């Protein structure tokens, strides 16, 4: 069973991931059928945001409410986390008042520090380094679309960013084959890649050639070229990532049944074309919906069982 927090997927066992995905599928079926669970009755999730959000904020809030609980949206500007108040003190104070904390911020170390000092569960809602809830919902989505993760070839094309890093962790905990294709200089973190290759060998590849990477892929996944916090690099990145756009001609190299994923928000016309976003291969809106189902299961496991 999952430990107290969800900080990154590598902290989960293969069984934790499988159990969470199973619970998420069950919760989705239950709620689609009109059933409910009230395991968060009387409980409150504090959501701390240092960056903008649509999916993460709304899916966590709806999930908490649907489980009979409540979610509170708090911006870093109000709290002054690490400025007005030390992270360790905020963790202690929040632990006296709420039943769980979700945090979206820049430094992974801030999330780790919060979790170290909080007595209630802490969930990573995205850092510069990782986006674990996203990738767990992605794995659920792939399972749903293909019936299993066994032998599924996922090719991620774009920046070696937080989503790419969590995908590496996801590949270490599931049977997927993961190819990451980036321009030179934008590869994912070397230590993460090396650790991944040591553990799963050829199931993890890092390439620079998008056409080569797309060959035979069951899933082509992309994300923005400039993540939150990198806005000043946008113009340079637009130039550096030319040739890495997910477009119809690239999909022709992939498996005929290829599906296209994007964690969203998408920058249409940059990393992905309108045609692909609006086309028959698109899976990104299922992905977005599954954030809700996955996180409902997550909140139930981490906060509901106490
Ligand atoms: N994918 C995702 O996390 O979306 P938001 O940034 O809108 O939360
Ligand atoms: N890599 C993107 C993901 C957004 C959900 C970012 O960090 O901005």
Domain coordinates in residue numbering, the chain: 9-131+291-304, 133-287
Residues identified as active-site: 104, 131, 134, 223, 263, 291
User: What pLDDT does residue 2 have?
Assistant: 79
For residue 25, give every residue at least 6 positions away whose Cβ sits within 8 Å of its Cβ, in sequence order, or none.
Answer: 140, 143, 144, 293
CB neighbours of 274 closer than 8 A, spacing ≥ 6?
268
Q: Hey, which of 107, 263, 288, 291 would you mutate to test ligand 2's pocket, going by the most ligand atoms within 8 Å of its Cβ?
A: 263
Token pair recorded at residue 293:
């189902």
Ligand 2 atom showing the smallest separation from residue 229 Cα: 8
Q: How far is the CA of 126 from the centre of ligand 2 (A)?
A: 8
Q: Ligand 1 centre from 226 Cα, in Å?
A: 14
Among 71, 124, 126, residue to substitute to test ligand 1 (most atoms within 8 Å of Cβ): 126
For residue 41, how far is its CA from the centre of ligand 2 (angstroms)? 32
CA 58 vs. chain centroid, Å, equals 15
Closest ligand 2 atom to 51 CA:
8
Tokens of 256: 């005929």
CA-134 nearest atom, ligand 2:
5
Indicate which atom in ligand 1 lies nearest the CA of residue 133. 3
CATH number of 9-131+291-304, picked from 3.30.1600.10, 2.30.30.60, 3.20.20.120, 3.40.50.1370: 3.40.50.1370
Q: Is the CB of 224 under 6 A from ligand 2?
A: yes
**Ligand 1: does its nearest atom lie under 6 Å from the Cβ of 285?**
no
Ligand 1 proximity of 266 Cβ (cutoff 6 Å): no
Ligand 2 midpoint to CA 163 (Å): 7
pLDDT tens-digit profile, the chain (306 residues): 677 999 999 999 999 999 999 999 999 999 999 999 999 999 999 999 999 999 999 999 999 999 999 999 999 988 999 999 999 999 999 999 999 999 999 999 999 999 999 999 999 999 999 999 999 999 999 999 999 999 999 999 999 999 999 999 999 999 999 999 999 999 999 999 999 999 999 999 999 999 999 999 999 999 999 999 999 999 999 999 999 999 999 999 999 999 999 999 999 999 999 999 999 999 999 999 999 999 999 999 999 965
Ligand 1 mean position, distance from CA 264 (Å): 6
How many helices and strands (H and E) does the chain possess? 13, 9
Read off the tokens for 160: 């070696």
pLDDT for res 1: 63
CATH of domain 133-287: 3.40.50.1370
Do the domains 133-287 and 9-131+291-304 match in fold?
A: yes
Q: Which residues lie closer than 8 Å to 201 by C-beta, 6 or more apart?
A: none
Adjacent-strand bridge partners of 46: 72, 101
């Amino acid at each position: 069973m999952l430990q107290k927090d969800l900080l990154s997927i590598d902290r989960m066992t293969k069984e934790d991931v499988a159990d969470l995905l199973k619970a998420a599928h069950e919760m989705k079926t239950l709620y689609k059928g009109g059933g409910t669970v009230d395991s968060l009755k009387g409980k409150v999730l504090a959501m701390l945001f240092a960056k903008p959000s649509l999916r993460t904020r709304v899916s966590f809030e709806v999930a908490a409410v649907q489980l009979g609980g409540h979610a509170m949206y708090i911006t870093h500007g109000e709290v002054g986390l690490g400025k007005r108040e030390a992270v360790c003190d905020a963790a202690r104070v929040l632990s006296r008042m709420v039943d769980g904390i979700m945090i979206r911020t820049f430094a992974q170390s801030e999330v780790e520090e919060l979790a170290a000092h909080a007595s209630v569960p802490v969930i990573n809602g995205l850092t510069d380094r990782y986006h674990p809830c996203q990738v767990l919902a992605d794995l659920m989505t792939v399972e749903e679309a293909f019936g299993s993760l066994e032998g599924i070839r996922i090719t991620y094309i774009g920046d070696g960013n937080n989503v790419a890093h969590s995908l590496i962790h996801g590949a270490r905990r599931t049977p997927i084959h993961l190819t990451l294709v980036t321009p030179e200089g934008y590869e994912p973190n070397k230590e993460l890649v090396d650790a991944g290759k040591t553990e799963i060998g050829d199931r993890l590849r890092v390439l620079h050639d998008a056409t080569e990477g797309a060959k035979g892929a069951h899933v082509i996944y992309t994300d923005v070229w400039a993540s939150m916090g990198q806005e000043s690099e946008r113009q340079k990145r637009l130039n550096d990532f030319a040739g890495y756009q997910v477009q119809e001609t690239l999909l022709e190299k992939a498996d005929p049944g290829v599906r296209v994923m994007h964690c969203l928000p998408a920058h249409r016309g940059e990393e992905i074309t309108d045609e692909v976003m609006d086309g028959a291969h698109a899976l990104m809106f299922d992905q977005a919906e599954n954030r809700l189902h996955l996180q409902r299961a997550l909140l139930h496991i981490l906060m509901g069982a106490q």
